[in-house]
Chains A and B, each alone.
Chain A
Amino acid sequence: MIKENKKQLMTGSKILIESLLREGVDTIFGYPGGAVLNIYDELFNYRDKLNHILVRHEQGAAHAADGYARATGKVGVVLVTSGPGATNTITGIATAYMDSVPMVIITGQVPTSLIGNDAFQEADTVGITRPCTKHNYLVKDVGDLARIVKEAFYIASTGRPGPVLIDIPKDISSNVAEFDYPESIEMRSYNPTYFGHHVQILKVVDELLKAEKPMFYIGGGVISSNAANELKEIAEMLDLPIVSTLMGLGGFPSEHALFFGMLGMHGTYAANTGISNADFIVAVGSRFDDRVTGKVDEFGRKAKFAHIDIDPSSIGKNVKIDIPVVGDVKSVLNSMLEILSLKSKEIESTQYKRMKWLEELNMYKYEHPLSYKMTDVIKPQFVVEKIYELTDGEAIIATEVGQNQMWAAQFYKFKNPRSLLTSGGLGTMGYGFPAAIGAQVAFPNRTVFDIAGDGSIQMNIQELATAVQYNLPVKIAIINNNFLGMIRQWQELFYEKRYSFSKLNINPDFVKLAESYGAVGLRANKPEQVEDVLKTALSIKKPVVMDFVVAQEEGVYPMVAPGYPITGMLLV
């Protein structure tokens, strides 16, 4: 008898690509090399279905996939070769891991028979990436590949999202197996909790209504769980003031009357003073990072704490929590809304105390707003403000790391979630530009900026070629102070102005550099040129590098010295 329904035999390479398509992948960021040549050869057959962006350095691929993922909420996909290809992605993977970004990284590996032999371009990729991935796999049998891809996407995108790596030896990508993509998935040891415990949620609601000075301290979890609408609804229903971490920016409209800015080391006076006077703090998808809490024993010292987070290990890690709620932020906020919908009378009775609390917070806001002084030299904050004005808060803003990042966070008033792409956890210089490329690939018609420093931008400047090749009109605004500005600021404040190796004595001519890549270069030396340069850049449908020559000695303020309570701010 002839065996019926014989499944089609496919190579590992074809299985991989077919599996990616079934996961809804339309774009991958990659760089070919020996161990992935089988896969690249197969990719050639799929070039009309799968958009492959050829970067100029594997780190760029990882950050671009990360930017794509943050901007869209989809899983970002990277394809690189073994050894150096894989190790070059590590910074990108660690960046995504720290900020809980869903990514699948596919690395080639030397053939199975050579693993462990110190073969050419061999590295123990699974070993190296174990501490900076949510999970990783070495594929040992081509028959497992489809299941592994399915699991990888599932793990990356569910629970607390994160990067998952699949290491594929070269023989696996050429071996054949029947292709049978699993419909569903069952993992005995991985079951994230989405729905918060009802009794715990009731306690949070009760406490919110009882509190004199409640406050929501929101983080990246609001954005990754797509909970901005629910958050806004609750905040408006209860007149609840909101402060945000760097990662939470965009999770609540920055210009909203209930928003009091970013808190922490470079937080606003209102946010830091406010949270220190609150009597009930609800951490919503945030994790009490040291840059947020300052001296942790004094953080919210007058308050009770509730913490809503999908990752139980985040709860109670740094601060003792009175009401823990393990669950997806969106789902928990929805449950809260349901409960609140039956409590209109109780809500009404909170109006007076809420009004008084908001009055107090607004007083802080007016006492010490974010500010800077205009001079005849360009101020970095002015550049960011102008970008905000000209894009009406609707642009996608990537940042590098350092002063540029903090000024972007302070002076760009984010309206929407997924519009700030920044390396908050790992603090990766060189992240912003490739991340902006990834976002621009996802949204060709939106305005995408990279707010950069002259130091950071040089860490992945090679990606200008990528931007030009794919005609991605990313706008790079370099806040150029010829310094590693944040290092300079710390040296000024804490190291007696000993500017040890923080001055960049030689920088390229960024305008000529842009031109040599086929991009457009513009420069502003005076405040009155800033707007023109930005307007010109926005009118050009090409990558544009803007060199803003700014005041060297400008610092980011307010600032809390590391290890100090966040009430102890150095103001301007």
Chain B
Amino acid sequence: MMEKNHILSILVENESGVLARVAGLFSARGFNIDGISVAGTLEKDESKMIISTYGDEQILEQITKQLNRLINVIKVQELTDDESVMRQTILVKVNADDSTKNEIFRIKEIFEARIVDVSRNAYVLEFSGSAKKMEAFIELIRPIGIKDIVKTGTIAITRSKK
């Protein structure tokens, strides 16, 4: 069976320890978490976790079933590329001197990134996009000299039915 990335959207009860339960389940059963993003929803007693994981269909089925065994898990849904919008956000601090500024601006324009902090020799860029674009963005920024980088896990939402 083919191994690939999967994005799971997990609706949980917003109680202390829920993240530990979910994360603990992944580690105890030998599943991977490549990325995770957790925040409240509009309902104050719910949270949503978006977890990126890796494995074949059988592993995905087990993960889903095991998650559903957790008492605090309300719903588990796999989000696919075709049917959902997926985004990651990155903040990257790059060297900014006279020799690199033009290149930074050029990349910013191409990717529609934003400069959110400016100092004498460094800029902080914010960029949000798909995982693929994120890779391309980092690839182009890298030669300029990255001082620090921080990235969110993927967040994702289903597209409306056409």
Chain A residues whose C-beta falls within 8 Å of the C-beta of B58 in the assembled complex = 316
Chain B residues whose C-beta falls within 8 Å of the C-beta of A311 in the assembled complex = 69
B40-78, CB under 8 A of A: which get 1 and which 0? 000000000000000000100110011011011110000
A131 CA to B28 CA, complexed, in Å: 8
Does B65 contact A313, Cβ atoms closer than 8 Å? yes
Chain B residues whose C-beta falls within 8 Å of the C-beta of A316 in the assembled complex = 58, 61-62
Q: Is A155 an interface residue (CB 8 A)?
A: yes
A134 CA to B72 CA, complexed, in Å: 11
A487 CA to B157 CA, complexed, in Å: 54
A187 CA to B72 CA, complexed, in Å: 9
Chain B residues whose C-beta falls within 8 Å of the C-beta of A356 in the assembled complex = none
Does B71 contact A130, Cβ atoms closer than 8 Å? no
Q: Is B21 an interface residue (CB 8 A)?
A: yes
A131 CA to B71 CA, complexed, in Å: 13
Chain A residues whose C-beta falls within 8 Å of the C-beta of B110 in the assembled complex = none
Does B66 contact A313, Cβ atoms closer than 8 Å? yes
| Chain A, Cβ-Cβ closest to B15 | A137
Candidates B20, B61, B62, B71; contact of A135 at CB < 8 Å? B71
| Chain B, Cβ-Cβ closest to A126 | B17
A90 CB to closest chain B CB (Å) equals 15
Chain B residues whose C-beta falls within 8 Å of the C-beta of A131 in the assembled complex = 24, 28
Chain B residues whose C-beta falls within 8 Å of the C-beta of A134 in the assembled complex = 71
A130 CA to B22 CA, complexed, in Å: 10
Q: Is B126 an interface residue (CB 8 A)?
A: no
Does A127 contact B20, Cβ atoms closer than 8 Å? yes
Candidates B28, B65, B72, B74; contact of A312 at CB < 8 Å? B65
B9-31, CB under 8 A of A: which get 1 and which 0? 00011001100110010001000
A326 CB to closest chain B CB (Å) equals 10
A424 CA to B22 CA, complexed, in Å: 27
A188 CA to B68 CA, complexed, in Å: 12
Does A130 contact B65, Cβ atoms closer than 8 Å? no
Does A189 contact B74, Cβ atoms closer than 8 Å? yes
> Would you list which residues of chain A between 111 and 137 have a CB under 8 Å from chain B?
126-127, 130-131, 134-135
Does A130 contact B61, Cβ atoms closer than 8 Å? no
A120 CA to B66 CA, complexed, in Å: 36
Query: Which residue among B13, B24, B69 has the maximum number of chain A CB atoms within 10 Å of its CB?
Result: B69
A155 CA to B20 CA, complexed, in Å: 20
| Chain A, Cβ-Cβ closest to B27 | A131
| Chain A, Cβ-Cβ closest to B28 | A131
Chain B residues whose C-beta falls within 8 Å of the C-beta of A130 in the assembled complex = 17, 20-21, 24
Q: Given A130-B20, A131-B28, does the pair A312, B71 have CB atoms closer than 8 Å?
A: no
A131 CA to B68 CA, complexed, in Å: 15
Q: Given A127-B20, A130-B20, A130-B24, does the pair A188, B65 have CB atoms closer than 8 Å?
A: no
A279 CB to closest chain B CB (Å) equals 24
Chain A residues whose C-beta falls within 8 Å of the C-beta of B65 in the assembled complex = 312-313
Does B68 contact A313, Cβ atoms closer than 8 Å? yes
Query: Which residue among B12, B20, B65, B66 has the maximum number of chain A CB atoms within 10 Å of its CB?
Result: B65
A120 CA to B56 CA, complexed, in Å: 47
A23 CB to closest chain B CB (Å) equals 18
Chain A residues whose C-beta falls within 8 Å of the C-beta of B17 in the assembled complex = 126-127, 130, 138
| Chain A, Cβ-Cβ closest to B73 | A189
| Chain B, Cβ-Cβ closest to A187 | B71
Does B24 contact A155, Cβ atoms closer than 8 Å? no
Does B69 contact A313, Cβ atoms closer than 8 Å? yes
Q: Is A190 an interface residue (CB 8 A)?
A: yes
Q: Is A256 an interface residue (CB 8 A)?
A: no
Q: Is A198 an interface residue (CB 8 A)?
A: no
Chain A residues whose C-beta falls within 8 Å of the C-beta of B69 in the assembled complex = 311, 313
A11 CA to B72 CA, complexed, in Å: 28
Chain B residues whose C-beta falls within 8 Å of the C-beta of A312 in the assembled complex = 65, 68
A552 CA to B54 CA, complexed, in Å: 50
Does A317 contact B68, Cβ atoms closer than 8 Å? no
Candidates A126, A189, A317; contact of B72 at CB < 8 Å? A189
A190 CA to B72 CA, complexed, in Å: 8
| Chain B, Cβ-Cβ closest to A326 | B65
Chain B residues whose C-beta falls within 8 Å of the C-beta of A138 in the assembled complex = 16-17
| Chain A, Cβ-Cβ closest to B21 | A130
A138 CA to B15 CA, complexed, in Å: 11
A317 CA to B65 CA, complexed, in Å: 10
A21 CB to closest chain B CB (Å) equals 24
Chain B residues whose C-beta falls within 8 Å of the C-beta of A135 in the assembled complex = 71
| Chain B, Cβ-Cβ closest to A311 | B69
A519 CB to closest chain B CB (Å) equals 41
Q: Given A127-B20, A189-B13, does the pair A313, B74 have CB atoms closer than 8 Å?
A: no
Chain B residues whose C-beta falls within 8 Å of the C-beta of A189 in the assembled complex = 12-13, 71-74
A-B residue pairs in contact (CB < 8 Å), sample of 9: A135-B71, A138-B16, A138-B17, A188-B74, A189-B73, A313-B68, A313-B69, A316-B61, A316-B62
Interface residue ranges, A against B (CB under 8 Å): 126-127, 130-131, 134-135, 138, 155, 187-190, 311-313, 316-317
Interface residue ranges, B against A (CB under 8 Å): 12-13, 16-17, 20-21, 24, 28, 58, 61-62, 65-66, 68-69, 71-74
Besides A131-B28, A189-B12, 4 other A-B contacts (C-beta < 8 A): A130-B21, A155-B71, A189-B13, A313-B65
